[in-house]
Structure 1
Amino acid sequence: MNKEPIVPPEILDKYSHFFKKLKRGVSKHLGKAPHKPVMLLAVIRGIRKNQITDNRLFITPELLLNFRETWNQVVDTGHTENFALPFFHMRSEPFWQLVAKPGMEIGITRSGSIRSFKNLQETVAFAQIDPRLFLLLQQPQTREYLEAQLLQQYFYTTKTNYRDNRDSAEESELEYQITHSSGEEYRERLLLLKSQLDESRYQEELFIRGGLFKRSIPRIYDHRCCISGMRIMATPNIQMIDACHIHPFSLSNDDTVRNGIALSPNLHRAFDRGLISITADYKVKVSALVHDKDSEFTLKQFEDEPILLPEKEEWQPSIESLIWHREEVFLG
């Protein structure tokens, strides 16, 4: 039986001290900002749910949803919720390091803050926390101790509202919209959100919805490529099937499942470039421009083959989207 690594008490005391002394911005009317402790509680949620499996913290829809849910439970001041601010400013803490994407510089304002969520997403590869801290947060006893420290220190009056539910209510609602809305309903909802939210918050919304789309499409196709049938699974967080928009989101504003199909990466690229398409009766068409007789893997082998479809009829690809792809993208 594997035993959990023993962490010396002084190491736990060290990070407990860091957690109690977070450097936080101060507003004249609102007091100290709650963003950093909320971010740490969101990370703890992610580790507990096995969404975070090493000390690299990527910007994921799951982490954003954890941040939002935690914020709604424990923040009762007039501060504005903003994920990008704490993810960026945690770099001033001794246990948190930002790693930029290759060749990118993190854009900051004159006041030294991050410009926007979009800028954070485009320039930051991940944040990295100390390996010893990650080890503490992996172990239930020390994780719960540090979590309690954060709640006691920063959210004493609201800590009883804190619930670490396995399923996020917001996540469930967004997944329902993606799987049950029509494309028109979905576009109308996004237009309404765009009129209500500032640009950074709207970009967060699109990022979360896009991430849930990418997760939902492979799931409803049983993680199989709908053309080749390929199904390769590794860990719970790694699989080899892409969620492919039929009508690109940049043009359609449609993240519903009927505007998506599950494809292996090579067939995803072929579909996006118009080398293959799908007919209204769900059969594969291959462009006459494709010449692949000398290859062991050919696109031609799929000509007129029926695609695999989701179990539920209401999740099957939109005929309108398929017609659009045939007319606007396919190199017939």
Structure 2
Amino acid sequence: MEETLGCLTRLRVGHSKGKPAPNKPCLLLAIICEIQAGHIVSPRVAIDDRLLARYHDLYELAAGKREHARPWLPLWFLTSDKGPGDEGGTLWQPVLSEALNAVIDQLGAPKSLDQLLKRFTTARLHPALYDLLEQETSAREAAALIIARHFTSSADLQARLHDYLEEAFASGAYEKAPEQLKGSRPGSPQQEKARSAAFRSLVLDAYDYRCAASRLRYITPDYRYLVEAAHLVPFAESQDDRPMNGIALTPNLHWAMDSQLIAPGPDHRWHVSPAVDALVPDNLWLCELDGQPLVLPQDPRWQPDRDALAWRLDHLQR
């Protein structure tokens, strides 16, 4: 295991203001988190919104300015790092089309994420490394090695990264076993945070970051989401943080649902309270929602529970 994980301490990183640049280490920590959450399930890694958001979270923690993250740099230049062993394999290999593979060396480095994603949207992590990162014990050791080797400028930063990883691993355990999200919360504040994080992650991912009412989907350039994860039956009553008890909503519609002004029903349509006066022009944004279809997750496992939808409809202001 030491030989395999040793490649993580030999990354070729640039420097910024005399300090090692956090790009590659943050990307690898993000990949470790997503493997432990069950989102990455093979050495073939999809460069998707979820991985990019995780990278930005870690970059913000490491560098302080989320908007300065340049994810295309580590996604491209990680190909220059050797994988474990002496067989000459690379740590990270983009999956390219045959036509692009023939000319990739002539193109130079991409200058934006859009440019990179036009070249490849998946890459292959070294299989031996992936196999170890699947195991929680060795994944923790890998994360500790990266933090100890590449974030030496501040003991406080190292501690904050360890705290982030601890919560990510705990949240990931819930994501891999969402049935554990039903029932009373544990007393530990850390476990409560992890459970809430798992609920949010599972719900937003299920709805592909799209509002279940307005259909709006917006992700900022620094990978923040417009939507929030909203409980159908409040946790205080249901003790249920499973994604089937949640939907993705924009903040204003989350507020409207919790204020019992709107409700999704078992008929998979939105209902507006008669307390909302349709003759008031400022209420039009709510009134237009009446009868509109509820956006549903593509995966039937995460579609909202019918009893939870009925609870919401029963609690609509009359």
Tell me the TM-score normalized by structure 1.
0.49
**Structure 1 residues 96, 256: CA separation in 2 closer, same or farther (over 3 Å shift)?**
same
SS of residue matched to 2:12: coil
Q: What residue number does 2:115 align with? A: 119
Percent of pairs with identical residues: 19
CA deviations on 1:63-98 (whole Å, 9 max, x unpaired) are 011111112223358993111110111011122111
**Structure 1 residues 36, 315: CA separation in 2 closer, same or farther (over 3 Å shift)?**
farther
Q: What residue number does 2:94 align with? A: 98
Q: What residue number does 1:73 align with? A: 61
Q: What residue number does 1:39 align with? A: 27
Is the CA contact (8 Å cut-off) linking 1:47 and 1:137 kept in structure 2?
yes
Q: What residue number does 1:161 align with? A: 160
Q: Within 1, Cα distance between the matches of 2:94 and 2:21? A: 20
Q: What residue number does 1:179 align with? A: 211
Deviation at 1:316, TM superposition (A): 11
SS of residue matched to 1:179: coil
Q: What residue number does 2:8 align with? A: 19
**Structure 1 residues 140, 316: CA separation in 2 closer, same or farther (over 3 Å shift)?**
farther
Q: What residue number does 1:51 align with? A: 39
SS of residue matched to 1:70: helix
Deviation at 1:122, TM superposition (A): 1.9
**Structure 1 residues 118, 152: CA separation in 2 closer, same or farther (over 3 Å shift)?**
same
Q: Answer yes or no: is 1:309 the counterpart of 2:305.
A: no
Is the CA contact (8 Å cut-off) linking 1:136 and 1:143 kept in structure 2?
yes
**Structure 1 residues 132, 92: CA separation in 2 closer, same or farther (over 3 Å shift)?**
same
SS of residue matched to 1:23: coil
Aligned length: 210
Q: Within 2, Cα distance between the matches of 1:81 and 1:168? A: 24
Q: What residue number does 2:189 align with? A: none
CA deviations on 1:156-212 (whole Å, 9 max, x unpaired) are 42111121333289969998x9538968xx79x98xx6xxxxxxxx3x64xx75xx9
**Structure 1 residues 73, 108: CA separation in 2 closer, same or farther (over 3 Å shift)?**
farther
The unaligned stretches of length 5 or more in structure 2 are 83-90, 172-196, 233-248, 252-265, 273-284, 294-318
Q: What residue number does 2:186 align with? A: none
SS of residue matched to 1:100: coil
**Structure 1 residues 64, 39: CA separation in 2 closer, same or farther (over 3 Å shift)?**
same
Q: Within 2, Cα distance between the matches of 1:318 and 1:104? A: 46
Q: Within 2, Cα distance between the matches of 1:311 and 1:19? A: 50
Is the CA contact (8 Å cut-off) linking 1:107 and 1:119 kept in structure 2?
no
Q: Within 1, Cα distance between the matches of 2:286 and 2:43? A: 37
Tell me the TM-score normalized by structure 2.
0.51
CA deviations on 1:109-163 (whole Å, 9 max, x unpaired) are 98x4222101111220311011111110001111111110011111242111121
**Structure 1 residues 129, 178: CA separation in 2 closer, same or farther (over 3 Å shift)?**
closer
